[in-house]
Amino acid sequence: MLFMSLSAGAIDVDLEKEGPGFDPFPGGRTENTTVTASIDDQVLTIQFSELTASQIVVKNTANMTVFNQAYAPAYSVQANLSSLPSGSYTLHIYAMGSWWYGVFNL
């Protein structure tokens, strides 16, 4: 089955919370927080329910890190993934004291 995008809009990336981990950005967060992700034309957009510092890590199917960037506190951040080849990727987001993950295709 072949799926093609003709700029029909952003595609949501389903995220799951991995749980608490080492917090490189200490500063207590509430449990009522949400993180959402979408990809549109190879630009990944992450939105947070509160102002937070974050880190985005993208790994390929061989579990090699192909993108890794830390961000200053914001309500949303973007990552341009246009340098990555077509394929399946795992997204890891550190925000608000927890790791979130999801899978997406380019």
Instruction: Return all residues near 29 (Cβ < 8 A) that are at least 6 apart.
Output: 50, 52, 96, 97, 98
Per the domain annotation, does 72 fall within a domain?
yes
For the chain, percent of residues with pLDDT exceeding 90: 63
Look at the block and give the residue holding tokens 């949400």: 34
Tokens of 61: 């199917």
Per the domain annotation, does 2 fall within a domain?
no
* Residue 85, domain extent: 11-17+28-105
Report how many domains make up the chain: 1
Per the domain annotation, does 82 fall within a domain?
yes
Per the domain annotation, does 47 fall within a domain?
yes
Per the domain annotation, does 3 fall within a domain?
no
* Mean pLDDT on 81-106: 93
- What pLDDT digit, counting tens, does each position of 17-64 carry? 875 554 444 554 445 678 999 999 899 999 999 999 999 999 999 999
pTM comes to: 0.79
Supply the pLDDT for residue 19: 58
